[in-house]
Amino acid sequence: MTIAIFGNSQKPKISDEIQHLLDFMQAREVHVLLSSELRQELNLRQYRQFPDSDEPIDFALSIGGDGTFLTTAAMVGEHNIPILGVNFGHLGFLSEVSTHDVDSILEDLVNGNYTIEQRSLLQISCSEGGFLASTDALNEVAVMKYGLSSAIDIDTCVNGEQLTRYIADGLMVATPTGSTAYNMSVGGPIMVPQSRGIILTPIASHSLTVRPLVIPDDWKIDLQVKSRTGSYMVSIDGRSQIMNDTVTLHIEKSPRTIKLVQVCGTNFIKSLKEKLLWGSASGHSDSKDSAQA
């Protein structure tokens, strides 16, 4: 078995965790590759570097938060490598495995006790004259005002028919996987990752009648943005780029998917309850106190 390890080298104590993982895998004769960042920053040059090796890779291990997971997905997605996220961050819906559980989880991985879950991606392209550094999104595509600009106008069409013209600070187009990320923070709906839908959520809309909308994932979206500054920002899973407002964006479901490793004891419903404190004792107490107030 061969595992490629990716991580945020700036995280406190991550070098200790990486060394623990390397010792664990060496004891089980698991071959290891390291991302160029980890290999250089942690001075682990005795290990081979991803993707320089031609050796087939069974899994990618992402050590960090969801941001690290998204970076890992962008690097290994085209190689069709399943990813397991170990949470070294805060909320962590993508990186579900706690560092406290990593030994038992890796034992399951080595012993074949896991399943592979396919997650949908959004594919982004633009009209002639535009340029996008990254074209697939696991979480979301967001168009946002740039600099000191006031609200932007986002003329939105679905399947060639005009839906509406958003006047807002921006518009989020999210996958079910991304529903618990930036989309959730701006008031968008949460979707089970296996759902077949795309979420459109305005960011700080200037109209009270505009609400988030879920459309089928085989619908195609075109966005024409107008701004007083003549430009706007596109963010694809946190990677940002400035675009001229003469450029039209086209968004649709990608033919590719990202493979996530699911091990025993991890699932989306459990993550929701743990991370959002649904059904917790403190949650019941808050509800009771609110009712009495």
Which residues does the annotation mark as catalytic? 66
Q: Give the Cα separation of 188 and 220 in Å (integer).
A: 20
Per-residue CA distances from 286 to 182, 184, 270, 281 (Å): 25, 21, 21, 9
Determine how β-strand 231-236 pairs with β-strand 239-244: antiparallel
Q: Answer whether the bond into residue 189 is a cis peptide, omega within 30°.
A: no
The three-state DSSP-derived secondary structure of 64-120 is ECHHHHHHHHHHHHHHCCCEEEEECCCCCCCCCEEHHHHHHHHHHHHCCCEEEEEEE
Q: Give the Cα separation of 244 and 285 in Å (integer).
A: 51
The answer to whether 227 and 155 have CB atoms below 8 angstroms apart is: no
The answer to whether 92 and 114 have CB atoms below 8 angstroms apart is: no
Residue written as tokens 């002639």? 128
Q: Give the Cα separation of 160 and 170 in Å (integer).
A: 21
From the number of C-beta atoms within 10 Å of its C-beta (0-12, 13-18, 19+), residue 145 rates as buried
**Residues of the chain by 3-state class (helix, strand, coil), percent to 5:** 25, 40, 35
Which DSSP string do the residues of 138-174 spell out, in sequence order? SSEEEEE--TT--PEEEEEEETTEEEEEEEEEEEEEE
